[in-house]
Amino acid sequence: MKEPPMGVSRAEYCVIACAEAWRDNGEVLASPMGPIPSLGARLARLTFSPDLLLTDGEALLVDADGGLEGWLPYRRHLTMVTGGRRHVMMGASQLDRHGNQNISCIGPWEQPARQLLGVRGAPSNTLNNPVSYWIPRHSPRVFVERVDMVCGVGYDRAAAAGPSATRFHRIPRVVSDLGVFDFDTPDRSMRLVSLHPGVTVARVREATGFELTAGADTPFTRPPTATELRLIREILDPDGVRDRHVGAA
């Protein structure tokens, strides 16, 4: 394993790992939910994915300089979803081995122990456009054997639901504060792709509530280039918001 460079924070590795989700996506809407995915999407557009579309967080499409370039109110945003020209990175209160996601409630749905947001657009997102996930605190409470309410559809549930569910279903990656994951295994279960420097496979296993596919020779998440690091620190996040959302290594 190659030694990672010094001085790059865990949060900066997370930004890079999120940005990589949008590599080679072409001219699609990047929909990052939360500050770290948002930094990642903007970094991707400024560097290796210049054709991405991004919103101002509400109904306007804005270019890299913040200039107006389009109008995307919710109803058109939903058509962007079903038309498939979008890659969203959502959060998850729970995420299971096959990528089923829950943002609705914890405990029995009929009378939950903790009511959360609701399904939002997760059921349509997952059936129509690529959906990645960002988990700021990797723990067995989030990475569970079975989610309490399937909002975002995982690989096993999509397969069971049939061809109209699988036709456009894809979960390209999951990024957490510990590493990067995908579902590129024979049974479409979660696999460790890379570790953020300072993290061990054992640490990830300990923080994951299900059996995770992970090789002994798992590489580290790639470090940012000098240009990327400058963009993150000086242009995109000079106030260091990223460090308030990801703990130190």
Partner 1 sequence: MTDKTMTADEVVARLWSGMTLGIGGWGSRRKPMALVRALLRSPVTDLTVVSCGGPDVGLLAAAGRIARLVTPFVTLDSIPLEPRYRAARERGSFALTEIDEAMFLWGLHAAANRLPFLPVRAGIGSDVMRVNPELRTVVSPYADGEEFVAAPALRMDAALVHLNRADRLGNAQYLGPDPYFDDLFCEAADASYVSCERLVDGFTGAVPQTLLVSRVSVTGVVETPNGAHFTSCAPDHGRDEAFQTMYATTPWDEFAERFLHGDEESYQEAVQVWHEERPR
What residues make contact with partner 1 under the rule CB under 8 A?
58-60, 71, 73-75, 78, 81-82, 104-105, 109-124, 126-128, 149-153, 157-158, 160-165, 167-169
Least distance (Å) between residue 218 CB and partner 1: 30
- Minimum CB distance to partner 1 smaller for 166 or for 213: 166
Kindly tell me which of 7 and 66 has the beta carbon lying closer to partner 1.
66
CB of 231 to partner 1, least distance (A): 27
- How far apart are alpha carbons 203 and 218 in whole angstroms? 13
| Residue 115 Cβ vs partner 1, minimum distance, rounded to whole Å | 4
Shortest distance, position 175 Cβ to partner 1, whole Å: 20
For the CB of residue 245, give the shortest distance to partner 1 in the complex, in Å: 14
Identity of the residue, 158 or 246, whose beta carbon is nearer to partner 1 in the bound complex:
158
For residue 33, the minimal CB distance to partner 1 (Å) is 10
Residues forming beta bridges with residue 230, ordered by sequence position: none
State the Cα–Cα distance between residues 46 and 56, nearest whole angstrom. 16
First to last CA, the chain: 18
- Dihedral sign, Cα of residue 120, residue 188, residue 144, residue 201: negative
> 158 vs 232, which CB is nearer to partner 1?
158
Give the residue with the Cβ less far from partner 1, 71 or 225: 71
Cβ proximity to partner 1: between 122 and 229 the closer is 122
